[in-house]
Amino acid sequence: MHPNDPFNAELPSEHLHFGSVEVIAGCMFSGKTEELIRRLRRAQIAKLKVEIFKPQIDTRYSRQEIVSHCENRIDSIVVKDSGNIIVLAKDAHVVGIDEAQFFDDGLVDVVEQLAQQNKRVIIAGLDLDYRGKPFGPMPNLLCIADYVTKTLAICMKSGLPASRTQRIVSGDRLIDVGHTDKYEARNRAYFSPPSE
Ligand code: TMP
Ligand code: MG
């Protein structure tokens, strides 16, 4: 269990009565979704009402599930933009959000509101895009978070811990949904962003 996990037995149980924001951020193939699913499952086991959201943009595997690279999956609601989340999460104790980098900037306020409503909000997303630049609302989400977990992948060139995502196909669209066909995890030494 991660030491920051609020379900850590060492934390007082009163903690659960307050809202909180957790952000799991890192490059591709670093286990973000795996970690999000792990935390959400534990909340489900605790019989808490859990709602999970992902942006409509990510159609890589399934429209109704969040799926990690290890094929671990959990049911989710696909939403067009962050504004839809507040109403749909009305009765939830715990709110999960995957692929947060693809949401609009309004997600930051939505997350604040959910936490104000005493909900535990757990967000996973790419911190950096293929250029090595902060991605969408992620920088602000990292700032407002109570708990931040940075995940590392393994660099495909060096076998060392990797924090960057290399796009291995051509194209300068910021959003280009894909998997190992288009991206590799790299450490700083082997990451080469496109020239500006
Ligand atoms: P993942 O972090 O769950 O592996 O998924 C990241 C998704 O983001 C994947 O579909 C590829 C996509 N992506 C972009 O659209 N633009 C980018 O710059 C990067 C690095 C990834
Ligand atoms: Mg993922």
Q: How many angstroms does the Cα of residue 105 sit away from the middle of ligand 1?
A: 17
Class of domain 13-152: alpha beta
Point out which residues pair with 153 in neighbouring strands.
162
Whether pLDDT at 188 is above 60:
yes
Residue 19: strand, helix, or coil: coil
Residue carrying the six token digits 């609009």: 104
Rounded to an integer, the average pLDDT of 96-121 is 97
According to the model, what pLDDT value does residue 69 have? 78
Residue 2: strand, helix, or coil: coil
Rounded to an integer, the average pLDDT of 58-69 is 67
Whether pLDDT at 161 is above 70:
yes
**pLDDT tens-digit profile of 1-40?**
444 455 554 444 545 568 999 999 999 999 999 999 999 9
Whether pLDDT at 119 is above 90:
yes
Residue 64 — pLDDT band, cuts 50, 70, 90?
Answer: confident
Rounded to an integer, the average pLDDT of 76-103 is 96
Rounded to an integer, the average pLDDT of 144-167 is 98
Contact between residue 37 and residue 82 where contact means Cβ atoms under 8 Å apart: no
Rounded to an integer, the average pLDDT of 71-76 is 84
According to the model, what pLDDT value does residue 71 have? 74
According to the model, what pLDDT value does residue 72 have? 81
Domain boundaries, the chain: 13-152
Residue type, 150: K
According to the model, what pLDDT value does residue 63 have? 58
Residue 114 — pLDDT band, cuts 50, 70, 90?
Answer: very high
Whether pLDDT at 165 is above 60:
yes
More confident residue, 69 or 119: 119
Whether 99 is a known active-site residue: answer yes
Choose the residue to mutate in 24, 169, 176, 186 for probing ligand 1, maximizing ligand atoms within 8 Å of C-beta. Answer: 176
Among 73, 69, 82, 81, smallest CA distance to 113 is for: 82
Choose the residue to mutate in 183, 184, 186, 192 for probing ligand 1, maximizing ligand atoms within 8 Å of C-beta. Answer: 183
- Of 99, 112, 184, 196, the catalytic one is 99
Rounded to an integer, the average pLDDT of 112-117 is 98
According to the model, what pLDDT value does residue 15 have? 52
